[in-house]
Every structure is written in structure tokens, then in C-alpha cells.
Structure 1
Amino acid sequence: MKKYIKLIVFFNIILMMFACGGDKQSTEQSQTNVAPQSKNPFHFYKKVEIRPGLDFEAISWGNSNDSVGGVSILMSDSLHSKFKALSLEREGKIKGFWNLDLDTDGNPELYVELLSNKNQSDLLVYEFEDNEFRKITFPSLPTKFKNDYLGNDKFNIKSGELFRTFTIKSDSLNTPNKEILIQYKIQNNNFSSKQIENP
């Protein structure tokens, strides 16, 4: 009788060992079947509130170095249940996204600042009117500065006006590089610009 009890205890111990090993194996297997977590596909995200219920969001995606890719501007008007999206290609990293009604016509102007070649900036500009995105072409640099342009652009908004500073190389080795200040205005969805002498 004691032999039978010893055998039963022995078999129970063996069964428990197999059961524990099976649980471990199934746990390991279930862990290997878990999908790896992917990185955030959006390299840039920013939300701008125009007024309560009316928001614009900018998102971008692209390849690993983010120098080329896509950008989308999403409009949501929750008060009127209206939604709109604009998608386009971009060259450069998105550095900023903001709203500015430069022509004071009451329609949002959405600015996407792009950074390329580490220190050169440009703007994509869209006005939102009648539930549509309308592109406003941002002017290129004045021709007289193109050959000496060194980048280091900075866009600033002061008292509702848009300014840009950038650096040009000096004419001689003995003088430092010069910083140029440009002011931009919009009339009839067209930009104009003028150089402002730094104080």
C-alpha cells in the first residue's frame, strides 16, 4: 500500500513539473507573438485654436531623416460639424506652425515653417476661407541677397506683423557677417516685402 502511495505522489510531482514547464513555454510563446511597438510615425504635431470650436492641426511624416515627406493641415469646426484636410509634399523638417491674419480680413492664415540644409528656412502659407484652403505664395529672397545668403533664418511676429532675419556674408574678411531684416505684408492674398534697416 505504501508503495502505491509513493508511486502516486511520484507521478503527481512529475505531472506538476510538466505543467509548470508547459505554462512557462506557453508564456514565452505568447510573448514572442506580441507585435513590436512601432515608433510614432508623425515627426511633428501642433494644434492651433482660432476660436472655441475652430481648430487647425498640422502633422508631418517622412523618411528616417525627415528631410522629405508629407504634411497635412486638418481643420475641425465642432460648432458647425465641418471638417477639412489639406495634404501636400514638403522638403525640409517642420520647425513651426502658427496662425496670423496679416491682412486683417478675418480669415485664418496658416504658416508652416520648413527647415532645410540645417539652417535655411521657408514658409508654406495657406488662407482658410469659405471652407477651403487657398495657397498664398511666400516670396523668395530678394535677388541681391541670394549669392551671399548664409541662412540662420528667424521668423518673428511683432504687433501682428511678420518679420524675417537672415545672415549674409560680408564683403571683406575684416568685417562680420551682416544680419538682414525683412518685413512682410499681405494685400489681396499677395505678399510684399521690404528691407528694414536694423537699428
Structure 2
Amino acid sequence: MNLKYYFLLSTACIVLASCSNGDKNPATASSPVAAKAALMQPFRFHKAIEVSPGQTYDVVSWGRGSLAVGSFAILHSDSAGMKYTTTTGNLDGTITDVYNADMDTDGNPEILIQSKGKDTVNYAKVYAFEFNDNDANKLDFPKLTNSQRKGYRGEDNFYIREGKLVREFPIYESNDSAAKPTGARRQLEYSLRSNSFSVKQLSKDSIAHSSNKAVVATAPKQEKKVTSSTKRRKQSEPKRKKRRHRR
């Protein structure tokens, strides 16, 4: 297994080095606005995250023949300790972004890989790892519950805010492929404690036409009040007429 990791690490380093030196024009290579070099096959994605001086995590994905599946690797370079480790896994979909955080504030960084797959919807999946020195601990990222999935059709947006992972996505009338968007968005916030995720919804879903429904619902109550008061007046009037008639 170690031989496989070393081979993978060597291959990835060669590919990344060739991409960074692929532009032979010195002026273009040194320009701060130079176009990003395309990755060589079978590699599809690369992002380097430096969590501290000498601690860098290169996240790459690769695979031939299909964009729907593949594999990913997290290449950890501890240049201060001259240690290099590799963490790999199977990939569902394609990587869209990678995030770094310390959500449980224990001093150990978490690397969160976001991928986008597709069945009936463009769904999102997150691969999460916490690193303690050179040891990687895989974290189980929670799936959406039935209530959280109501009206979900993908198009997720993730970002780190105040040490928490925030996820938001538009809400549709249903999960059907022909459903139309309601104009509302749902926000979920993920926290981490003792290597376990917890999730809560930040606010209630706001739908534009919900206020109109509330107005319609209150209208019949007002009409009932007017009708009942009118009936009471009519019932009291005949009594007064009968008293005058007796006189």
C-alpha cells in the first residue's frame, strides 16, 4: 500500500510541476495575470491549501473514461518535518471546490472537498477529513434529512463563516425535474464537535407569496364578525317594536 502511495505522490508531483512550467514564455510565466495552465490527463482538479508555513495540502482528482466517477487524493507536505503523506478516496461526481477550517477549534485542520454529481438533480456531496500531524481521520458528513430535502434540486453554495460551514440552496415547488423555483432559499449551518457533525437551519424559508396567503386567510374572519353583529341588531329590533305596540 505504501508503494502505491509513493507512486501516486510522485506522479501527482510530476504532473503539477509540468503544469506550472508548461508556459515557456518567461514574460507570460512571471505575469501575475497569467492564465491558469490546464491539467494533464488523467488529472481533472488541483487546489493547494497552505494552512500554516510548511504545511500544505494539495487536493487532486483523476480518472479516465468518465466524468461521473473518479478518485481524489490529499497530498500533505510537511516541509518542516520532511514528511509527505497521501490520503485517497473514491469520488462521486466532480470536485467543485475545497475548503479549509478548524471547526472544532482543536488546532487540527479540516479539509472539506465539495463535489457535484447528478441523478435526477444536481446534488452536492462533501468529503471531510481532519488531520492531526500526518494522520488523517475521515469524518462522516451528514446527509440531508427528509425535511431538509423538501424542494431540493441541488445548486448548492458552500462557504466558511465564523468557523462554521454554511450551505445554502434554492427551494423548488417539489423535487420533480419539472418543478419551478419558489424564490426562497434554505440555509444550513454545520458545526463539528468530537469529530461529529451537527446541523441546524439558520432561519425559516421565506416564500414571496406566503404573505398574500396570510391576508386571504384573515379576510373571512372579518366578514364573520360583521355578519354576527348585524344578526344581533336585527334580533334586538323586533323586541323594541313589540314593547311599543303593547303601550
Identify the residue that residue 11 of structure 1 maps to in structure 2.
none
- Give the alignment partner of residue 196 of structure 1, picking from 202, 220, 223: 202
Identity %: 34
- Is the CA contact (8 Å cut-off) linking 2:170 and 2:181 kept in structure 1? no
Q: How far has the Cα of 1:177 moved from its partner?
A: 4.5
Identify the residue that residue 51 of structure 1 maps to in structure 2.
52
The residue identity in structure 1 corresponding to 2:152 is Y
* 1:151 aligned onto 2:154: yes
Give the TM-score normalised by structure 2.
0.60
| 1:114-133 aligned within 5 A | 114-117=115-118, 119-133=122-136
Partner SS for 2:108: coil
* 1:70 aligned onto 2:71: yes
- Give the alignment partner of residue 137 of structure 2, picking from 121, 134, 139: 134
| 1:37-48 aligned within 5 A | 39-48=40-49
- Is the CA contact (8 Å cut-off) linking 1:56 and 1:74 kept in structure 2? yes
Q: How far has the Cα of 1:40 moved from its partner?
A: 3.0
CA RMSD of aligned residues (A): 2.3
The residue identity in structure 1 corresponding to 2:67 is D
More helix by share: 2
- Is the CA contact (8 Å cut-off) linking 2:171 and 2:181 kept in structure 1? no
Identify the residue that residue 184 of structure 1 maps to in structure 2.
190
1:176–1:148 distance in 2 versus 1, CA, 3 Å:
closer
Alpha-carbon distance in 2 for matches of 1:130, 1:165: 32
Alpha-carbon distance in 2 for matches of 1:155, 1:104: 20
Alpha-carbon distance in 1 for matches of 2:183, 2:81: 52
Partner SS for 1:144: helix
Q: How far has the Cα of 1:65 moved from its partner?
A: 4.2
Q: What CA deviation, in whole Å up to 9, does each residue of 1:111-164 have, x standing for no partner?
A: 101011273211100000142110111110122133532111110112222100
Q: How far has the Cα of 1:67 moved from its partner?
A: 1.5
Alpha-carbon distance in 1 for matches of 2:43, 2:137: 24
* Unaligned runs of at least 5 residues, structure 2: 1-38, 207-247
Equivalent pairs counted in the alignment come to 161
Alpha-carbon distance in 1 for matches of 2:181, 2:97: 32
Alpha-carbon distance in 1 for matches of 2:192, 2:58: 23
Alpha-carbon distance in 2 for matches of 1:157, 1:74: 22
Alpha-carbon distance in 1 for matches of 2:165, 2:194: 16
- Is the CA contact (8 Å cut-off) linking 1:98 and 1:111 kept in structure 2? yes
Alpha-carbon distance in 1 for matches of 2:151, 2:161: 27
* Unaligned runs of at least 5 residues, structure 1: 1-37
Identify the residue that residue 95 of structure 2 maps to in structure 1.
94
Alpha-carbon distance in 2 for matches of 1:97, 1:55: 13
The residue identity in structure 2 corresponding to 1:153 is D
Alpha-carbon distance in 2 for matches of 1:174, 1:122: 23
Q: How far has the Cα of 1:63 moved from its partner?
A: 2.8
Alpha-carbon distance in 2 for matches of 1:174, 1:145: 18
Identify the residue that residue 215 of structure 2 maps to in structure 1.
none
Q: How far has the Cα of 1:176 moved from its partner?
A: 1.9
Partner SS for 1:134: strand
Identify the range of structure 1 (61-70 vs 82-91) with the bigger mean alpha-carbon deviation. Answer: 61-70
